[in-house]
Structure 1
Amino acid sequence: MIKWMILFLDILAYVLRSVICLFLICRSLKLEKPCLRAGVLCVVGTIVVVICTGLMNITPFYQGILMAFVIAFCTGQSQKEKLRMCLCISIFYEIAVSFWEFLLSAGLGVAWGSGVFLDKTALSGQAGGWLLNLFLAVLALFVFKHPDLTYKEVFRLVSSVVMAGFIAVITLNSQTVLDIPEDTMFMWMILSVILMMAVLVLNISRQYEAEKELARLKSEQAELLERDYTTLNQAYSVNAKLFHDFHNHIGVLRQFLKNEKYQEAAAYLDELQEPLREMTDTVWTGDETIDYLINSKMAAAADRQISLQAEVEFPRHTNIRSADLSAILGNLLDNALEAAEKVNPPEQRTISLTIRRIHQMLVIKVENHFAETIQAEHGQLKTTKTQKGLHGWGLKSAQAAAAKYDGTVSTDYEDGLFRAVATLSYHGVTKE
């Protein structure tokens, strides 16, 4: 009877641990697809493994290895490319769980002066495992209620737990209450060191991935800026050509007017104006690049039957570089144009651009109507574009540029209105 009760408790304990591991993997790897199916498979697989290993008297070590493979398979079956990372996390998760279960059981044994807490075949031996399950449940609840945890906060938490385990196993090795075999203590000490090394390697890997992403952002931002500067140079070339031929155009117009051919003169003026339709005389900021960027986006909006209203209050002579401001403003306006173009009827295609300075803070706000369903995951917006390439990097590029000035780019949406707000700190500079 006791044997079947212990088997039932083992099944409950391992199911709980597996589900928590599944949740932590989905959250840490930001898996795009829902994990409901993976959770069902994980529960079923866990029950099968625990029953089979329990009836066959397989050691907890091999039982943990099998559980790690089950969790990794169930988690990574929706995204094959992340299967290796799922397996890595699940293996070290099982090692950490077994390690802390041993520490808690040994701690109870030292406190009560009895080694029965280390006996897994006794009901008392389940106490340490269920204390650990309680801790894991609290940890999962904490992570669930704090979806905005930063990587540094998570790394600090995991490092603290691993370091506490290492100190605990060193302390346990010097106690004299329980008679724990030396090879067992040596094994757990080695595993505690392996856990610390795993956390360090994971941190290094995460930093490498962050550096790669930053390099991609810089490359994408440079490409966007090159596109805008190329368009600007082309517009200036057209303008220079027009002024170069200005005396010829004046002669033609003078001839039309002299012969009272007013309609021909008007048509000729329209023809001259066509190449410069996107160029206007509006000065928004005093920065030629930014002014052209706003004017060109307004012209593009007009071509798409989009109403773009701008209110600009821009500080002069600041440390904000034109290239960074172009990356932020260009990306926000491009996203707004793309979203507003899909809105029907055309009368509802509106974009509002507001640039304000508040003390030493520059605030850029872009609002637009949208028609498609906005998809978000783990607090980040997902691109609705199906093609690969630069899609989905617009906001990240803007965020990278804003971060140079201790700024942020935030987004929110409600009632069919999307809002993107960029804030940048600045200070004045002396113009030579």
Structure 2
Amino acid sequence: MSIQGIVSVYLLHAVSIMLLCRSKYNRRKTIKICAAMAAAQMGVAFWADLYLKGAVWVYLVFIITFAILMVEIFWLSAEGVAKTLFFCMTYVQIFLVVAYMAGMLGNWLFDSHIGATAYLRALLHVVLLAVYVRFLRDKFEIVRQEVTKGWWPMCILSILYTIYISSVVMRAQADYFRGVEILPFFLLLAAILAGYWVIFNTIYYMRKSALQSKIELQEKILMQKLEIMEDVERETRRKRHDFRHHMLNIAEFARNGQMEELLVYLDKYYVEVEDTESLFLCANSTINHILTVYVSQAKKKGIRVTCDVSVKEEIGINDVDLVAILGNLLENSVHGCLEAGKEEMYILVRIQMKAQKFSVLVENTCRENIHFENGLPKAEGREGIGVSSIVKSVEKYGGAIDFGCRDGRFVSRAVMLMQS
């Protein structure tokens, strides 16, 4: 391979990784790591070029530089193993297809001239990166945010594709793409594209299922809110009907000078009337609906609830995501209290807006032996209710969430960036 070919390949790899990989580091450190890995790959290629030729050079350089690429991606990636491998293998396949097509075109148009083929491969690589950034990047980001499970089958399929297409392309490159068979390659390409069509259809239905579960939770909360409002309305009508009798009793106490009895009666009447008032905790209607439902549920089960809410009407968080986060956290808190089986049960909810950040804290009574896996609560035989949905929705807003358990108290904290 020519000098310009070696430099262009590994520089474009570095750029591609920066565009494709969700790095756990800041931009500056990510660039440094990618530059260092590109330099290491170039060093391997230049060293091999001094001592090796032909097929040995092709296979050895590919294996070593591929290993460096894998180290780079897993060093940088903030995502799980399966998801990281899937996107990595997909990128490698696309690069190998580009290399094969550039080799064929270079063979036909430039009589296998190494420099011309290198420029052609770099051009195709740049064009595909531009297409990705312009048309596909946002869609891939949505998939990464919303699909949290089911990556391993797709990951394994992408690994098998990569192994096979690597062997085809390396054999062709070792022979400078002379005598390549066009039809088998394009049939292979068609099979791979069909496989990815199935994969992305699967992802589509996984996203649809995740969204449907959020919508169902929202509908459940709204229906429960409606039931609560209907109960309040019925109770209010009953109180209105009984109002005349209360006035007669009050008048009778006053006429008889029974002031102590009158005050006791008025206190009881005040408590009765207060219980029928609709709960209003904040200006945001979605948060108010969610709190109304779960505060009502908790009180019916003997759980003391304290709410400290300070938010505006608009908070920059989508209602569906708000339901997924707050609804699931409160549902978990009610379940946690009931599972604890303690005489004194409580839930504390604190929701605030500050410096363009939206924060939620939910603290509740819990049992002592709660297990955690990768920082997430794990109930026996199942994941905590809606935990993956909570995490996914929080991350969608550039936020973070943590869970903790100590001294019979379970605490969930989430912080998100509010969108304008």
Task: Name the residue aligned to 2:70.
Answer: 139
Distance 1:130 1:373 in 2: 52
Q: Is the 8 A contact 2:370 2:405 kept in 1?
A: no
Offset of residue 336 of structure 1: 1.3
Task: Name the residue aligned to 2:160.
Answer: none
Aligned partner (choices 398, 401, 419) of residue 412 of structure 2? 419
Q: Is the 8 A contact 1:408 1:424 kept in 2?
A: yes
Distance 1:350 1:235 in 2: 24
Aligned partner (choices 352, 355, 370) of residue 351 of structure 2? 355
**What is the TM-score normalised by the length of structure 2?**
0.53
Distance 1:366 1:302 in 2: 16
Task: Name the residue aligned to 1:250.
Answer: 247
Task: Name the residue aligned to 1:368.
Answer: 364
**What is the TM-score normalised by the length of structure 1?**
0.52
Q: Is the 8 A contact 2:357 2:415 kept in 1?
A: no
Task: Name the residue aligned to 1:410.
Answer: 401
* Alignment RMSD (CA, Å): 5.0
Q: Deviations over 1:85-135 (max 9, x none)?
A: xxxxxxxxxxxxxxxxxxxxxx99xx6246xx6xxxxxx9xx949964994
Asked if 1:207 is matched to 2:204, the reply is: yes
Change (3 A) 1:395 1:375: same
Aligned partner (choices 224, 228, 253) of residue 227 of structure 1? 224
Change (3 A) 1:133 1:412: farther
Task: Name the residue aligned to 1:338.
Answer: 335
Offset of residue 359 of structure 1: 3.0
Asked if 1:195 is matched to 2:192, the reply is: yes
Alignment of 1:169-184 (within 5 A): 169-171=100-102, 174=107, 178=175, 182=179
Offset of residue 328 of structure 1: 4.3
Task: Name the residue aligned to 1:65.
Answer: none
Distance 2:205 2:343 in 1: 46
Asked if 1:112 is matched to 2:68, the reply is: no
Aligned partner of residue 340 in structure 2, secondary structure:
coil
Alignment of 1:139-158 (within 5 A): 139=70, 143=74, 146=77, 148-149=79-80, 156-158=87-89
Task: Name the residue aligned to 1:166.
Answer: 97
User: 5+ residue gaps in structure 1?
Assistant: 1-106, 118-123, 428-432
Change (3 A) 1:295 1:258: farther
Offset of residue 161 of structure 1: 0.8
Give the aligned length: 303
Offset of residue 338 of structure 1: 1.8
Change (3 A) 1:326 1:171: closer
Q: Deviations over 1:221-268 (max 9, x none)?
A: 222222123213322331243134322322244346656597799579
Distance 1:356 1:222 in 2: 25
Q: Is the 8 A contact 1:324 1:402 kept in 2?
A: no
Distance 2:297 2:94 in 1: 58
Change (3 A) 1:248 1:129: farther
User: 5+ residue gaps in structure 2?
Assistant: 1-47, 113-172
Distance 1:420 1:180 in 2: 57
Offset of residue 274 of structure 1: 5.5
Task: Name the residue aligned to 2:233.
Answer: 236
Aligned partner of residue 342 in structure 1, secondary structure:
helix
Distance 1:322 1:179 in 2: 57
Distance 1:321 1:182 in 2: 57
Change (3 A) 1:180 1:330: closer
Offset of residue 272 of structure 1: 8.6
Q: Is the 8 A contact 1:310 1:353 kept in 2?
A: yes
Q: Is the 8 A contact 1:289 1:322 kept in 2?
A: yes
Aligned partner of residue 385 in structure 2, secondary structure:
coil
Q: Which amino acid aligns with 1:413?
A: G
Q: Which amino acid aligns with 1:112?
A: K
Offset of residue 322 of structure 1: 7.5
Q: Deviations over 1:247-299 (max 9, x none)?
A: 23222443466565977995797589558647477x53246775575466556
Between 255-264 and 241-250, the greater mean CA deviation after superposition: 255-264
Distance 1:263 1:394 in 2: 53
Distance 1:203 1:183 in 2: 30
Question: What percentage of residue pairs aligned between the two structures are identical?
Answer: 16
Q: Is the 8 A contact 1:366 1:420 kept in 2?
A: yes
Change (3 A) 1:167 1:312: closer
Aligned partner of residue 328 in structure 2, secondary structure:
helix
Aligned partner of residue 333 in structure 1, secondary structure:
helix
